[in-house]
Amino acid sequence: MSAIYKRELRSYFGSMYGYIYLAFTLLVIGIYITTHNLLGGTAEMSYTFSDMAFMSIFLIPVLTMRSFAEERRNKTDMFLLSLPIKPVSIVLGKYFAMLSVFAIPVAVLSIFGLVLRLFSKGSALLGSLGASLAAGISYLLLGALLIAVCMLISSLTDSVVIAAIGGFAAVLLLFGMDYLVVIAQYLDVLFAEKAAVLSFVGLIVLLGLFALAAGLLSESALVGMITAAATVIPLSAAFAIWNDAFAGLFAKVLTRLSAFATFSDMTLGAFSLSGLVFFASAIFFSVYLTVLMLERRRWKS
């Protein structure tokens, strides 16, 4: 794993690629530090990290687009598979390399925060250390999740451009889930007596998308249909029995599944174990799928 990790890091900083990524990210950080902290007059970093999370919609796909797509294009992925390394080590080596590159600007931002704290000691500008720490850790977790998702998308294609656009679309979709929650909650209020049905329909659509993704990833219509059946049938049964419990359920489920909502909760004062578990399991799931995709290259191609 360490060989892959080192090679990946070298490929970031052996070319302009890594430096351009860093330069752009640091520029954004500079702008946010100036507007939020210097002009805003606070050493607390929660809002800075919150806005960085928005910027990561654009930054993460660029960071991850090459990871597997380029290997596939150069056919070096087959070579990696012929080396005495486990596929999971290949994926983790790449993943940790991307995490490391991602962590560099976060470290810089944290140093900024520390310096600001030193200068605002004893004043009202100091803000809460806990809030800043929570925001920093949450931002790292969010980044780690987005990197894992975009890495998975990069492993599905042999075009770097498609990997970037696909990654962007996926991250945007995750980001948009927050707005979907708001819309769902609004509809629940608007059609209060039909809220349970609305919620049920929403959940069916969600599971349908999940089944579609499963079918596409496995390239098997059967897997997609089995997934759909295995999820939709129990849900329908549950709806038939506990009809009332469904009111507002869709919005709740979406909130639970939303990476950005979890991130906002955790940065703005509700740092929670359940949030940690959410990020950890979502990261694990994405990395695991990437390993499966890499191993599938041994069967197809």
Partner 1 sequence: MIEVKNLTKKYGANTAVDDVSFKIRNGRIYGFLGPNGAGKSTTMNIIAGSLAATSGSVQINGYDICNDPIEAKKQIGYLPEIPPLYSDMTAFEYLHFVAEAKGVKPARAQKQVNEVMEQTGIAHMKDRLISGLSKGYKQRVGIAQAMLGNPDVIILDEPTVGLDPQQIIEIRELIRRLGQTKTVILSSHILAEISEVCDHIIIISRGKIVADDTLEALEARAGDETVLRMTIKGERSGILDVLSGYPSIREVNVLKEADGTLELEIKLPRGVDLRDDLFFAMAERRYAVISTQQMTASLEEVFLSLTDRTEGTQDKHALRERKRREKMLGNVKEDAPAPEQNDLGGDAE
Q: Hey, what are 156's tokens?
A: 């599905």
Cα–chain center distance at 209: 18
219 counts as binding partner 1 under rule CB under 8 A: no
Regarding 252 and contact with partner 1 (CB under 8 A), the answer is: no
Residues 185-204 that bind partner 1 (CB under 8 A): none
Where in 64-83 is the site for partner 1 (CB under 8 A)? Answer: 74-76, 78-83
Min CB(78)–partner 1 separation in Å: 4
Residue 242 C-alpha from the chain's centroid: 33
Please list the alpha-helical segments (H only) found in 191-258. 195-218, 221-241, 249-257
- The count of chain residues that interact with partner 1, using the rule CB under 8 A, is 25
Helix pair angle (66-73, 273-299), 10° resolution: 0
Q: How far apart are alpha carbons 155 and 174 in whole angstroms?
A: 19
User: In whole angstroms, how close is the CB of 206 to partner 1 at the nearest point?
Assistant: 33
Instruction: Verify binding: residue 124, partner 1, rule CB under 8 A.
Output: no
Phi first, then psi: give them for residue 188, nearest 5 degrees: -60, -40
Binding-site string for partner 1 from residue 11 to residue 50, where x marks contact by CB under 8 A and - marks none: x--xx-----------------------------------
Q: Positive or negative, the Cα torsion across 192, 194, 199, 201?
A: negative
Would you say 15 or 35 has its CB closer to partner 1?
A: 15
Shortest Å distance, C-beta 105 to partner 1: 22
Position among 84, 122, 244, 273 found at the interface with partner 1 (CB under 8 A): 84
Q: What are phi and psi of 242, to 5 degrees?
A: -105, 65
Rounded CA-CA distance 218/214 in Å is 6
Judged by beta carbon, residue 4 or residue 174, the one nearer partner 1 is: 4
Tell me if 220 contacts partner 1 by CB under 8 A: no
Alpha carbons 195 and 213: distance in angstroms, whole number: 27
Residues making contact with partner 1 (CB under 8 A): 2-4, 6-7, 10-11, 14-15, 74-76, 78-86, 298-301
